[in-house]
């Protein structure tokens, strides 16, 4: 589901694989060849871990999927060489990036990327999510987004997270709503969908509206 590949409600939180201490900052990327990757916070079926330099080709493959290009309003694919160069800039940047893991089969499998682009002056961030084509339609995006909001509000101490989604992407809008976002307004004719100009919908989530179980709070409580 490009642009917002989300569907079902998050499962009840379970204890992640690591220590119940607060997760470290995700600003430093990880290089890992382990079959048991680092997982910071997660549920029984989804987890967030570090952004990994060794997965650049995997990230690039996901990003070239035609349905994702349409969902994000991009108009051309990117070469692996350009993506590798871009990865180097991302690794030096201050944005908060997570690898999304699918845990439904037991072993954590990379399934997407979630990104927070913070503005620390006002304690807000833009949110972007990308799921692998094979990971869509199973609720992983919803769970990953809930985990990212949990991290944003309870570790990074942001007060608001916002996103943009193309207006024709009705399924995506509904999915973001399930994850806790609300429509905040439109940017008229700010994007393209299948060759036609379209609006972009602005959606936001604030810390005070975050309801349901918090994995971060459960970690601190030792549950």
pLDDT of the residue at 9: 39
SS3 label, residue 158: coil
- Taking the C-alpha atoms of residue 99 and residue 47, their distance in angstroms, rounded to an integer, is 8
Look at the chain and report how many structural domains it folds into: 1
Query: Taking the CB of residue 97, how many other CB atoms lie within 10 A of it?
Result: 21
Q: What is the mean pLDDT of residues 51-69?
A: 92
In which domain, by residue range, is 132 found?
A: 41-158+214-221
- Taking the C-alpha atoms of residue 32 and residue 20, their distance in angstroms, rounded to an integer, is 21
Percentage of the chain beyond pLDDT 90 is 59
> What's the whole-model pTM score?
0.80
Residue with the bigger pLDDT between 137 and 29: it is 137
Side by side, the strands of the sheet bearing 46-50 are 41-42, 46-50, 96-102, 109-119, 124-131, 160-166, 196-206, 182-193
Quick check: is 88 in a domain?
yes
CA distances for 201 relative to 16, 57, 170, angstroms: 34, 31, 10
Residue with the bigger pLDDT between 142 and 12: it is 142
Quick check: is 189 in a domain?
no
Query: Which pLDDT band, with edges at 50, 70 and 90, does 35 fall under?
Result: low
pLDDT of the residue at 15: 45
pLDDT of the residue at 19: 42
Quick check: is 10 in a domain?
no
Quick check: is 30 in a domain?
no
Among the residue ranges 39-48, 66-75, 89-98, 176-185, the one predicted with the least confidence is 66-75
Q: Is the pLDDT of residue 21 over 50?
A: no
What pLDDT digit, counting tens, does each position of 84-121 carry?
988 888 888 889 999 999 999 889 999 999 999 999 99
pLDDT of the residue at 165: 95
Q: Is the pLDDT of residue 167 over 80?
A: yes
Domain holding 91: CATH number?
3.40.630.30
Quick check: is 59 in a domain?
yes
Quick check: is 50 in a domain?
yes
Quick check: is 154 in a domain?
yes
Encoded tokens for 174: 């509904």
Quick check: is 5 in a domain?
no
What pLDDT digit, counting tens, does each position of 190-213 carry?
999 998 999 999 999 999 999 878
What pLDDT digit, counting tens, does each position of 128-143 carry?
999 999 998 888 999 9
């Amino acid at each position: 589901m490009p642009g917002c590949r989300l569907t079902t409600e998050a499962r009840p939180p379970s204890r992640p694989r690591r220590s119940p201490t607060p997760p470290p900052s995700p600003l430093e990327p990880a290089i890992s060849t382990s079959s048991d990757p680092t997982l910071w916070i997660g549920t029984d079926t989804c987890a967030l871990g570090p952004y990994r330099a060794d997965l650049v080709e995997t990230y690039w493959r996901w990003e070239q999927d035609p349905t994702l290009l349409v969902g994000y309003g991009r108009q051309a694919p990117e070469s692996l060489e350009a993506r590798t160069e871009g990865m180097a800039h991302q690794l030096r940047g201050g944005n908060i990036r997570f690898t999304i893991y699918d845990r439904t089969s037991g072993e954590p499998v990379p399934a997407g990327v979630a990104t927070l682009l913070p503005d620390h002056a006002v304690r807000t961030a833009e949110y972007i999510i990308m799921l692998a084509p094979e990971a869509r339609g199973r609720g992983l995006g919803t769970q990953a987004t809930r985990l990212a909001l949990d991290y944003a509000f309870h570790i990074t101490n942001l007060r608001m997270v916002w996103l943009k989604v193309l207006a024709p992407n009705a399924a995506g809008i509904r999915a973001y709503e399930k994850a806790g976002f609300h429509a905040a307004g439109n940017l008229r004719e700010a994007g393209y969908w299948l060759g036609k100009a379209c609006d972009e919908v602005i959606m936001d989530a604030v810390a005070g509206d975050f309801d349901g179980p918090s994995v971060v709070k459960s970690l601190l409580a030792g549950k």
